[in-house]
Amino acid sequence: MSPETQTKYVVAVIGAGPAGLFGARELASQGAHVLLFNRDVKPGGLAEYGIYHTKHKMKEGLRKQFRQILQNPNVDYYGNITIGKQGDLALDDLKDAGVQALLVTVGAQGTKWLGLPGEELSKGVYHAKDIVYHYNKLPPFSQKNFHIGQRVALVGAGNVMLDIARWLIRDLKVDEVIAVVRRGPAEVKFDKKEMESVVANLDLKALDEEVARVAPVMEAIGQDVQAAKDFILSALPKAYEPVSESRLRFDFLASPVRILGDANGQVQALEVEETRLIPSNGDTKARGTGIKRTLDVDTVIFCIGDKVDESFGLPVQWNEFVKNPNPSYPVNGISHEVFDDQTGQPIQGVFVAGWSREASSGLVGVARKDGESGAQATLQYLSMLPELDNPTAVLEKVYKLLQKLDKPIVTKENIACLEAVEQAEAVRRNLEEFKFSTNQEMLAVMGIAPKAV
């Protein structure tokens, strides 16, 4: 807690990813004292734990910006704390302490599944987000064992799918990666730049055959077959030098229907149903044809997006927190106000931003802009309230709540210490980057001992 504060309001920002950090900066710049709560020890969210682990320059550039935000005396950081219905503190605990507004930027902590038979298999069925967290060393995912075989099916066609393919091909060097895509090559969602990391391992003959197979379906709805193929191949001129013999191929117009496994819970195959394309409002939808076939794979990884955590304590509909359809404090026509669809009323003083408002492309710039917009909506609400007579009293009440918790609390001073130790360790080991992979290690080097039970 800062020793002195010149402030008109006290606001809690819950979640310290890009949306939360840049939202906190916006709030602090307009006279609010921000209590920034984070589930993880380190700040950064998906900028720290979602960007591919070898993109060191990009990550360090973002960390530099985050350090500057945390240096603001009107921003207090509390890491290793969960806020929510089942967390260390509930939203109402913060309100009761006098916090005037809450900006929720916890991202999309839930995972989407398709509800297929076989998803419960214990060996070989995973969600992409868990694996991204694993190779980026986010506790506790950093310690989890993933049983990755040699023939892996990736369900999805976005940049996350390519990140997982990159890890499988360049780090694990598996035999084969099959991208299972419910629609066709004209509907892939990944970027050419992301494709560059794996295109050298693309089986060109298999791509020719696959495009030829789905061409009649594409042509029937007027899609340009050659243009779709050319986009995939446009990454070839800047292809990364291959480091494995892994084979990458696409299986288009294929919708997963069942995962087959053995008596030990190990994946044996993925059954898919062939689809056809139906035009729909300028886009396409996939419809099953009833024709099914089996892919011989030993691992299935779903790269199909995320959803908000339904246990957080805010109303949820269609995998998102519910927003006020008629916002009182819109920003560029967008609602950031949480809405109770049971009572038909907004939840006063509670706002959402970043992936908590709407799942985006995953770009940090998008999250940053939305975090700032969420802060601006929050400031509109705060401007209607009387200024606090004694904001320090509110800060002290929150601080006392934290002190009662039976766990270590991480401050921004602790984070500066941790970063210095990790940077020194990277130099000592001659690495571009070093990360401790457990909370226990991080707390130990910061000198924060867990409280006795």
- The confidence score (pLDDT) of residue 107 equals 87
- The confidence score (pLDDT) of residue 3 equals 40
Complete DSSP assignment for 310-325: TTSSS-EETTEE-B-S
Helix axes 159-166, 128-135, angle to 10 degrees: 50
Q: What is the pLDDT of residues 115-168, one digit of tens each?
A: 999 999 999 999 999 999 999 999 999 999 999 999 999 999 999 999 999 999
Residue with tokens 């419960």: 120
- Angle at 435 (CA atoms; ends 431, 436), nearest 5 degrees: 130
The structure's pTM equals 0.93
- The confidence score (pLDDT) of residue 362 equals 66
- The confidence score (pLDDT) of residue 183 equals 97
List every span in the chain annotated with CATH 3.40.50.720: 9-109+307-445
CATH of segment(s) 9-109+307-445: 3.40.50.720
Which DSSP helix (H) or strand (E) runs through 338?
Answer: strand 337-340
What are the phi and psi torsion angles at 302 (to 5°)?
A: -90, 120
- The confidence score (pLDDT) of residue 1 equals 44
Strand order from edge to edge, sheet including 283-295: 254-261, 267-280, 283-295
Given CATH 3.50.50.60, say whether it is the number of domain 113-304: yes
Q: Single out the residue of 308, 352, 307, 355 nearest to residue 331, CA to CA.
A: 352
Distance CA 197, CA 190 (A): 12
Q: For residues 49 and 422, is the Cβ–Cβ distance under 8 A?
A: no
List every span in the chain annotated with CATH 3.50.50.60: 113-304
Residues of the chain with pLDDT under 50: 1-5, 452-453
CA-CA distances (angstroms) from residue 17 to 63, 167, 354, 368?
11, 23, 9, 9
